């Protein structure tokens, strides 16, 4: 109980909300590296997933890449990249990109691959080109599952981005590492609570976006279909 009171006192201390190491700055840093990692992974994985889902060829690639990436411990990968690239943000950013790719890739592949072949067949029958089928039929129908993949990747990354403080003075993870070094466990708990709150806010925002995408493609006159949740089997790693 004293630990929680200490964390609450730390969070309500005005000194913790100002300056270059204040909570607002750390939150923005955490959001920045999360957005960068998920954005780069989307640029790399979405086209591949959509292509495989559209052609229905190479599905084994998705399983192989997803399985291999999920088997890599992020902290171990970060340590190796840190030794190779040195102190800074390059190592944690690359590690987080590797973490995010499997969920984005699997979401894009599953979303497009599960579009009813009768719908795509009808689109081709009325003269749509393969490009039009992808962008005007498959992607809109697959958007809830694609957003689900991005949602899963974002939650994984925002929770693991605390490791960025392992090689750089960056993000909310700094509170965890600083508190551990000084044995200030109230600061550690406060940092963990901030990460959890940020993850919850992102979860609510992305869940709303996924629900909107699902409702947009629901048939008129029917109840809105629930937004599917893209599940991931990767377990969170302890910091």
Predicted pLDDT of residue 217: 80
In this structure, is residue 239 part of a structural domain? no
- Number of domains observed in the structure of the chain: 1
For 60, phi then psi, to 5°, come to -60, -25
Predicted pLDDT of residue 1: 62
User: Which region, left, alpha or beta, applies to residue 198 given φ > 0 means left and ψ of -120 to 50 means alpha?
Assistant: alpha
pLDDT tens sequence across 54-71: 988 877 877 787 788 778
> By residue range, what is the domain housing residue 32?
22-215
In this structure, is residue 41 part of a structural domain? yes
Is the model's pLDDT at 166 over the cut of 60?
yes
Predicted pLDDT of residue 137: 93
Question: What separation, in Å, do the N-terminal and C-terminal C-alpha atoms of the chain show?
Answer: 22
Predicted pLDDT of residue 70: 79
Average pLDDT over residues 178-198: 92
Predicted pLDDT of residue 42: 96
In this structure, is residue 236 part of a structural domain? no
Contact 136, 145 (CB under 8 A): no
Contact 147, 166 (CB under 8 A): no
pLDDT over 70, % of the chain: 90
Is the model's pLDDT at 187 over the cut of 80?
yes
In this structure, is residue 151 part of a structural domain? yes
In this structure, is residue 51 part of a structural domain? yes
In this structure, is residue 125 part of a structural domain? yes
Predicted pLDDT of residue 226: 52
Position with higher pLDDT, 219 vs 114: 114
Q: Quick one: CA dihedral 104, 106, 109, 113, positive or negative?
A: negative
For residue 236, name the pLDDT band (cuts at 50, 70, 90): very low
Predicted pLDDT of residue 234: 47
Is the model's pLDDT at 41 over the cut of 90?
yes
Position with higher pLDDT, 20 vs 62: 20
What CATH number is associated with residue 107? Answer: 1.10.3720.10
For residue 19, name the pLDDT band (cuts at 50, 70, 90): confident
In this structure, is residue 5 part of a structural domain? no
In this structure, is residue 92 part of a structural domain? yes
């Amino acid at each position: 109980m004293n630990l929680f009171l200490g964390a609450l006192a730390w969070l309500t201390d005005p000194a913790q909300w100002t300056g270059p190491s204040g909570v607002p700055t750390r939150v923005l840093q955490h959001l920045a590296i999360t957005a960068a990692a998920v954005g780069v992974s989307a640029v790399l994985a979405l086209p591949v997933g959509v292509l495989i889902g559209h052609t229905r060829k190479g599905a084994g690639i998705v399983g192989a890449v997803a399985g291999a990436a999920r088997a890599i411990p992020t902290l171990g990968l970060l340590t190796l990249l840190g030794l190779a690239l040195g102190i800074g943000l390059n190592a944690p950013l690359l590690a987080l990109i590797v973490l995010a790719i499997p969920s984005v890739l699997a979401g894009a592949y599953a979303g497009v691959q599960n579009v009813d072949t009768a719908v795509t067949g009808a689109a081709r029958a009325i003269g749509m080109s393969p490009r039009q089928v992808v962008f005007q039929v498959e992607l809109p129908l697959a958007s809830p599952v694609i957003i689900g993949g991005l949602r899963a990747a974002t939650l994984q990354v925002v929770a693991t981005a605390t490791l960025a403080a392992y090689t750089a003075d960056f993000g909310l993870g700094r509170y965890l590492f600083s508190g551990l070094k000084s044995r200030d466990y109230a600061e550690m708990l406060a940092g963990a609570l901030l990460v959890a709150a940020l993850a919850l806010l992102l979860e609510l925002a992305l869940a709303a976006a996924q629900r909107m995408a699902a409702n947009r493609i629901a048939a008129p006159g029917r109840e809105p279909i629930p937004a599917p949740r893209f599940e991931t089997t990767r377990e969170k790693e302890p910091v």
